[in-house]
Structure 1
Amino acid sequence: MTDHLFNLHGDVLASLRRGPKAFARLALAHSESDEPADIDLGHFRDRLVAAGPGDELVALWHRTLTAWDLAEQTDWSDAPARTDARRTDILDRLGFGADLRKALDEAVPVFKEPGATVISKEFTSWYSRDAAAARAFYWNSYEQTLRGKGWSDAAVSSLDEASHAVVERLSDPTRTEAYGSRGLVVGYVQSGKTANFTGVTAKAIDAGYRLVIILGGTLNLLRGQTQRRLDMELIGRENILRGTDPADTDALIGVDYQDDEDWPAKFVSHGGRPSTLGSFDIERLTTRDNDYKSLETGIRALEFDKQDRTQPLYSPDNLHHAAARVMVVKKNSSVLAKLIKDLKKIGPILSEVPTLIIDDESDQASVNTTDPKKWEDGKVARKAINGQITQLLGLLPRAQYVGYTATPFANVFVDPGDEEDIFPRDFLISLPRPTGYMGVQDFHDLESDGTAEETHVRGIYDDTGDRLQEALDAFVLTGALKLYRADRDVPAGPFRHHTMLVHESVQQREHAALALRINSMWHRSAYTGQEGHARLSALLASDFQRFADDGLPTPMSYDDLRPYVSRARQLINSGGEPVIIVNGATERDYEQAELDFDRTPHVWKILVGGTKLSRGFTIEGLTVTYYRRLAQQADTLMQMGRWFGFRPGYRDLVRLYIGREEPMGKKKTVDLYEAFEAICRDEETFRAQLTRYATLVDGKPQITPAQIPPLVSQHLSWLKPAARNKMFNAELVEIRSPGQPIEPAAYPADAAATRRNTERWRPLLNALGSAPVTLTNPSDNTSSLSRNFSALTATISHAELVSLLSALEWDRPELFRPHLTYLAQLDGRLATVDEWLVIVPQLSRSNRTEASILGSVPLSLARRSRQAGKAVFGRISGVEHRTSAQRLINGPGSVDISVSPTTGVMLLYPVVESQNDADTSAAAPHGVADPSKVTMAFTLIPPKSAIDSTRQLLRFQAKDSSHARDVFVTTKSS
């Protein structure tokens, strides 16, 4: 039976590509039906109200309204995207009445989740929605593929918007003057970045980009995963076969994917070769199993035919008839060298080829990690991969570079002034957290009551044992629960893969020992006997039933699950052992059939490994993670968070066993869960700052990527944003020290500068009282220190202190500047400090030299020496003095003095640079100190309350070699 209403609405909505207009008038113009009800909006409303699941008309309107709701830039509405105001504007323009509006809003609620955040230079608009729709062959195929995989309308529309935002900031491929833009797209770990750059690739080649180079990881395993994904979802059967008859089995020998169980059913079909359907073909220069090779056929494949040889390739007459070339290339020096060598042979036409270079995991291998201090004659020395990427960009002047990463800190620290490098000078786009993604909020209770941690996280403490047996039991039990749910037709089932990750060390020898231990534990676990079943039954009751998703089937008793336990055990033990070791230094170490999630029907295994499992590689079906490896760089640690990702049908079964007391150095332990929470806060702070500055003001960007203010922060002092060799260009701009000592030591050695500094302390010196007070350090269980001392004191307002400190001169001002940036914000912007208690300790009488400084009361001079060969002093404050000051900050520490929660403490020392009493006396003849020989040195301890809610401790920015003396950006506080 023909659905006249659906057909009519489809025609009308197809004509509204540029935005909503009066629907009834257009319906009348399009109607060819004799049924007057088809153009009756009341009939449409009744259909909406009565519609059941799967109604095609509702689905059509869901797609359309969601796309209009999410459209970020339109010429038909001033209302913000993703708001009720935008929806109201849409329905007004359609001319719908109150009843129909209500029915539509109920059928298609407004999608209000945030979209991508964009920091961008101003750019010339060339990729309008009309232009995108006019040439959308591959995007339309990709969109339909995503919908066929079950993507929601909101998810597809969000991807459409985010990928459009990338492509419109690339250079117009038909532009006469060559320009290569540089951009960075920031996603979340295991959050679908590949889907975004596949969408970008589809839109870019539709628009005219004819060479796409995707740098796809550092291993064949990773490169092959990316190649297969593109082949399956974008390039398609016809481009893979290149005219080969799919029924001719002899002709198909050697063609990709003949051994792939998803071929050809799950590979997109375009309905014929695209070039015969009015579009153009895609020629693959790499395949699933073959990286780029230096062959004559490869060179010829890179040559582009022109319809009009008198015009350049980028002329529209040539461009839109030429085939696109796509290659997925491993980030390997020898492979890239072959590609560069072949490109050089092609000659001048390279300057005519609109090229897109997508760099997956762009903070790995791509960033230059040479030390600028070792460069000769000011020339940049580059690591191999970074140098080859810059060569590609030089050979291809129309090349656009877009990096993708979940850990962007190393990319942000690239020198913006190096025109040949990969700093994202044109745009930086932060992707939203996708619907259905398990991420930070699911494992860390950043702002809630602890339910996330209770549900998914199982801490490993000294007094709990290593809990490895429990983790192994959880793996078997969750496998059984997946099988139980699959039998009850859970939409996400059947669950093809089921995996456990064990990550304790980076050392390969330790992996072998750990795998042996797990195998032995497996065979002793008695999963076929009473003891094993008793453990599993208890774990089901105490854990998995307690936190089960109410919307998913979970057995009421272990007896109902027991048959599935047997099947799960068999699947995990297939091949004789449950463990696969994933490590090694060569490609051969990764060519394990059981590790190929694409070609293997079922991977139900425990994976033991280290670094090679912590970046790019997707561990399908990951349910239980046992993690105890320490890393001291935030990006490295975050990439190990393989437990983040999409877990449809088994979110409630995911468990993370993580070390809470792991050793680091002498007598020090680290809470890995706390470390992950800290870097999660670092990332959330970074994204929040991007969002703050992304809003246009008077239609113009507030800042450009090269002007990004200090956005990279650090919440734990020992956990750096990136490895040291990725931070040569990082500049520390703020150090926040609530409750912690700040002790600058790089005071000027020049007598004139010392005198000027001392003069600046005059008001404070004059305010010191003449009556000393006694401070004590009562002994307790943590310290044997019980020494008392006397001191002179004064109180100074916070504003006066900051003014004084801002005027001081330093031998190395960059060392104190990050502290001063922090202190200056304690006027209520970051937190509030009202005043400072100044303590000037007096030395014991036996070795005390007293002198007046600029007319002050007599002060006890302290002897200090500078470090050998350096301008900085070795130390400033005495241990007993700092201990007492810290007690005042921490709470009652002195019988004579108390400080409020908004009062800081300063220890102030008149320092004479000397080794003996004679030098000290010489600096103060007749009890009057020479201001040019006395350094007023200090230690500050801000109150513990001197921090904002983010708790971030450090902030960084990148140095710009082309504007070495410029402030990046001046922003008004909000």
Structure 2
Amino acid sequence: MTAEETRQRIVKFVQELLLDEDDKGAITPVLIAEKIDQVLVMKPSWGNELDRAAVTDELIRRFSLWIGEDVTLKSEAGHEPWLNASRKRDWRYWQRYREWLERKLSWKAVAALDKSTDTILGLLEDPVRPGPWDRRGLVVGHVQSGKTGNYTGLITKAADAGYKIIIVLAGMHNNLRAQTQMRLDEGFLGYETSPLREGMRITGVGHIDGDRTIRPNYATHRLDTGDFNSAAARNFGIKPEETPWLFVVKKNKTVLERLHAWIEHHVANTEDTSTRRKMVTNLPLLVIDDEADNASVDTGEQLFDADGRADVEHQPTAINSLIRKILHAFSRSAYVGYTATPFANIFIHERGETAAEGPDLFPSSFIINLAAPSNYVGPAAVFGLSTPEGRVGGLPLFKSVDDYCTEDGTGGWMPQKHRSGHTPLHMGQDTLPPSLVEAIDAFMLACCVRNIRGQGAEHSSMLIHVTRFTAVQKEVHRQVDDHVLRMRQRILRRVAAEELFERIRNLWESDFVTAMNCIREAGIQTEPAGIPSWQQILLALPDVIQDVSVRMINGTSKDALDYADTEGHGLKVIAIGGDKLSRGLTLEGLCVSYFLRASRMYDTLMQMGRWFGYRPGYLDVCRLYTTDDLTRWFGIIADASEELREEFDVMADRGATPREYGLKVQSHPGLMITSRLKMRAAKDLMISFSGETLESVVFHTREDLIRTNVAAARKLLESLGQPDVTDPEIDTPAGKQSWKGGYLWRNAKAADVIQFFNGYSTHSESHKVRSTMISEFIEKMNDVDELTEWTVAVIGGGGGHYSEIPDLAIRMSMRGNTTRYEDGYSIARLLSQRDEMIDTSASVWAAALEKTRNVWKRDPARARPGDPQVPPDMPSGRALREVRGEGAEGIMPSRERGLLILYFLDPNQSGFPFPEGTLPIVAFGVSFPGSKAGKKALYKVNSVEWRQWEQSYGPAE
């Protein structure tokens, strides 16, 4: 048994003893020490070289953990409830997986996984229920939040319940398929799969319960050649009474064709009399689709007639077609997709169906949003939350990179656009840019700290993603490898090392020590209390530099196997990756990431997302090096995803079905952002703004366009006459809310507001706000007598005065510039949370707060670390808009009234180099009440706009 395995067992046993304590809040280091002593009395040899401090830190983290709450949308159509305690009484696959998890996870995390997987399994059908039946669902988790562990738990329970064929669709590349196979070997099978079926080595759950009578069968194995092979499969004899069979396959056309053909010719036990389609009626099927938004979705356009009937002769895309054919071959089947980015899955038409493939993969039965535990590190933790003052509350882990290319983006070490023959040179020299040198130093420091904290036996990784070209990756690999070799020689030989040590020490003292203190001050409980001294770092460096290796990740399973081969003594690897680094591949112990703008923006953003996840005991030494542009775009995507999660919470509270949510998302303005990133051709979107709020955050800097927007605002305000209210204020249950220097008009006509939007010029980089679309939408709502009346507000600020509009003394607002557009001034947020309340009554305020609290869920991934676990004390904008549109008890809906809020931003306080005498920058927020009218506006990304996008970010393919 390795030292790490010993430590895990001690932690597990001590955790069991602590669970017997009545007061879990009184678990202290002293009490933990007593329990460690009790365990060591039973097994004294475990005390040899035991790092008691590391055990104590781990247990304190486990008992300070809290878990968020999952949210579910479901449809009971055709479903028969079945999962109860009696069905779970003798489950052995789940029991051994649970015990295995308890070695590494908090008891709270394991209990939450148990509850979550019970919910998912219960929404599937009872595998022993006579057919036919078909259930399809989607599980949405935060990026790198433990989706694999969730579906492994689901698989163990499904096998216990009686599902006989379990197919896991594991990404597009061998490395992810192999990694998934290895994890299921550990968590489900209990032995290491190989082509030879004799003498297999026990692993994972097999050490807990290795009974051969329950050993599942496998059709694929962990080696590079381990994907499904029809020749080998001919010898498989699958019978209903046998233990379950596991298939872990790539989403690859050839592989899936082989699997489908084998099912038809060797598993099917009957034939459909009307269609002659071969079918399996005696074996229930479970399909798990990992990264379900990638390749599984039919990107072809299926046609529907006037009655909503699908064209049954439609030809879906290859992977989608084959997944559906496999499901369609079983009379009893369940499909569960897992993803962190569900836009594409929700866009699947809920009535899509063909004769050959059967129904499309729309999650008609359920959608579950998984919450995260409090030790999850997500975008809100790293980048903070978006506010009018910029992103606030982020941890000091992000490092801006700007030395990788020349100012025009065409030269330097890694130009924004480069070819496969590019040779990376910095300042004309065959060397790394200073930012990458610093990132590598940061990785060395992270490894040193982890060693000092007793985490040396765990894996530590650094990811470098700077190019999609394999040839250029090789050059980067050579440069990084040479750089690490020179560092190793200097540190070990102590020859000409003074400058190197001084450089690393400066980084340690100016960055790491400061960041460690900031993170502790933020109230994050997962980090050890002590900060190592420089002398401790200096002593740890020689061992670390000897262990670090530099690798290329090219999509082969060998990349995934390295981690398993070094279990117990911790791989320390700098991985050079590109487009072949498939989504979903986990880089164990990822400490430092170095990202530059790659040619395929969306893929890069998703890879950037793998930085998030769990960093127990070493969050404070993690670093993300990337460009300001990538950070800005990731923030935009994260905000759009959060909007959809909020919408999900609201609809779940109403008891809506997945179909209703799908229809809502398909017209959500957030798609105006994601479509720009993912679309490969022109596509029309019909967008609804009902129940939404829009805010302009990117503005023109040309004098003529600034003047155009000021003229549009001035014309509107002059047409409204004297304001109804100056210095608005409202009384709320939480006290008085006031807007000093503001103005309010309550009787504006739709025609005046439409004229304003038609006269206003939005910036081309304003991805979610198009003034012409807004005016078109208002006109369509007027056709059904909605949005006919408007409240117009001007929010006063703390900047200079603008007095060019008669009888109005407008105090300009201040918003700082956040990016470096040459022709644009951009801000983080325009609206503050309370600004939408400016014309709200106390009764509407109270009703909206009640709705806000009803849908509030404790989800740490959606809040800054250290935030208290208390419900909100102010209504959300979404709840306010819902009350205005839907009404509430004692409150009539007011769908005829919209809210337009104008801000005059002070150019002299913007941080952008506007010329002296520049007019105010007119910004607007617009709040639409909820509606059931179903009216939409047309959004189109045409080929010209797409070409402009490619010129900025490189070719799509």
TM-score where L is the length of structure 1: 0.60
RMSD (Å) for aligned C-alpha atoms: 5.1
CA contact (8 A) 2:65 2:375 kept: no
What does 1:125-524 align with in structure 2 at a 5 Å threshold?
A: 125-147=80-102, 149-237=103-191, 254-255=196-197, 264=202, 266-269=204-207, 271-273=209-211, 275=213, 280-289=214-223, 290-295=225-230, 298-304=233-239, 321-346=241-266, 347-348=268-269, 350-372=280-302, 379-419=313-353, 420-446=359-385, 453-461=394-402, 467-486=435-454, 493-522=455-484
Query: Relative to 1, partners in 2 of residues 1:728 and 1:157: Cα closer, same or farther, differing over 3 Å?
Result: farther
Query: Relative to 1, partners in 2 of residues 1:453 and 1:512: Cα closer, same or farther, differing over 3 Å?
Result: farther
User: Aligned to 2:750, which of 802, 823, 827?
Assistant: 802
Report deviation, 1:834. 2.7
Q: Give the SS at the match of 1:301.
A: coil
Q: Counterpart of 1:675? A: 633
CA contact (8 A) 1:393 1:399 kept: yes
Q: Counterpart of 2:590? A: 622
Query: Relative to 1, partners in 2 of residues 1:707 and 1:209: Cα closer, same or farther, differing over 3 Å?
Result: same
User: Aligned to 2:576, which of 576, 588, 608?
Assistant: 608
Structure 2 distance, partners of 1:353, 1:778, is 68
What does 1:61-80 align with in structure 2 at a 5 Å threshold?
A: none
Report deviation, 1:708. 3.9
Q: Give the SS at the match of 2:190.
A: helix
CA contact (8 A) 2:215 2:243 kept: yes
Identical aligned pairs, as a percentage?
A: 26
Q: Counterpart of 1:31? A: none
Q: Which amino acid aligns with 1:458?
A: K
What does 1:15-26 align with in structure 2 at a 5 Å threshold?
A: none
Q: Give the SS at the match of 1:946.
A: strand
| 1:885-914 deviations in Å (ceiling 9; x for gaps) | xxxx998495769696999xxxxxxxxxxx
Q: Give the SS at the match of 1:172.
A: coil
CA contact (8 A) 1:184 1:404 kept: yes
Q: Give the SS at the match of 2:464.
A: strand
Structure 1 distance, partners of 2:588, 2:148, is 15
| 1:531-554 deviations in Å (ceiling 9; x for gaps) | 000011111111112222765375
CA contact (8 A) 1:181 1:401 kept: yes
Structure 1 distance, partners of 2:394, 2:26, is 41
Query: Relative to 1, partners in 2 of residues 1:532 and 1:956: Cα closer, same or farther, differing over 3 Å?
Result: farther
Q: Give the SS at the match of 1:189.
A: coil
Report deviation, 1:437. 1.8
| 1:247-273 deviations in Å (ceiling 9; x for gaps) | xxxxx9935896xxxx53644235453
Q: Counterpart of 2:762? A: none
CA contact (8 A) 1:733 1:817 kept: no
Work out the number of aligned pairs and report it: 671
Report deviation, 1:330. 1.1
Structure 1 distance, partners of 2:314, 2:800, is 49
Report deviation, 1:322. 3.3
Query: Relative to 1, partners in 2 of residues 1:466 and 1:798: Cα closer, same or farther, differing over 3 Å?
Result: farther
Structure 2 distance, partners of 1:958, 1:427, is 29
Query: Relative to 1, partners in 2 of residues 1:683 and 1:816: Cα closer, same or farther, differing over 3 Å?
Result: closer
Structure 2 distance, partners of 1:958, 1:361, is 31
| 1:649-702 deviations in Å (ceiling 9; x for gaps) | 211100111111xxxxxxxxxx2212212222222222222122223x6xxx33
Structure 2 distance, partners of 1:111, 1:569, is 34
Runs of at least 5 residues in structure 1 that lack an aligned partner in the other structure:
1-42, 60-105, 242-251, 305-318, 487-492, 573-577, 661-670, 743-776, 838-888, 904-939, 960-974
CA contact (8 A) 1:368 1:726 kept: no
Q: Give the SS at the match of 1:611.
A: coil
Report deviation, 1:116. 1.3
Structure of greater relative contact order (alpha carbons < 8 Å, 6+ residues apart): 2
Report deviation, 1:502. 1.3
CA contact (8 A) 2:178 2:561 kept: no
Q: Counterpart of 1:10? A: none
CA contact (8 A) 1:118 1:427 kept: yes
What does 1:677-696 align with in structure 2 at a 5 Å threshold?
A: 677-695=635-653
Query: Relative to 1, partners in 2 of residues 1:139 and 1:821: Cα closer, same or farther, differing over 3 Å?
Result: farther
| 1:212-231 deviations in Å (ceiling 9; x for gaps) | 11111111211111111111
Report deviation, 1:368. 1.1
CA contact (8 A) 1:636 1:722 kept: no
Query: Relative to 1, partners in 2 of residues 1:469 and 1:186: Cα closer, same or farther, differing over 3 Å?
Result: same
Structure 1 distance, partners of 2:640, 2:261, is 41
Q: Counterpart of 1:582? A: 553
| 1:431-485 deviations in Å (ceiling 9; x for gaps) | 1113422212220211699775452111224699862221121112222222222
CA contact (8 A) 1:633 1:719 kept: no
Structure 1 distance, partners of 2:185, 2:533, is 45
Structure 2 distance, partners of 1:654, 1:518, is 19
Structure 2 distance, partners of 1:778, 1:121, is 52
Q: Which amino acid aligns with 2:244?
A: A
CA contact (8 A) 2:186 2:203 kept: no
What does 1:787-866 align with in structure 2 at a 5 Å threshold?
A: 794-795=719-720, 801-802=749-750, 816=773, 820=777, 834-835=791-792
Query: Relative to 1, partners in 2 of residues 1:299 and 1:621: Cα closer, same or farther, differing over 3 Å?
Result: same
Q: Give the SS at the match of 2:385.
A: coil
Structure 1 distance, partners of 2:676, 2:31, is 51
Q: Give the SS at the match of 1:545.
A: helix
Structure 1 distance, partners of 2:74, 2:119, is 10
Structure 1 distance, partners of 2:196, 2:590, is 33
Q: Give the SS at the match of 1:623.
A: strand
Q: Is the radius of gyration larger for structure 1 or structure 2?
A: 1
Structure 1 distance, partners of 2:800, 2:314, is 49
Report deviation, 1:47. 13
CA contact (8 A) 2:195 2:226 kept: no
Report deviation, 1:185. 0.4
Q: Counterpart of 1:723? A: 678
Q: Counterpart of 1:946? A: 925
TM-score where L is the length of structure 2: 0.61
Report deviation, 1:281. 4.0
Structure 1 distance, partners of 2:369, 2:255, is 30
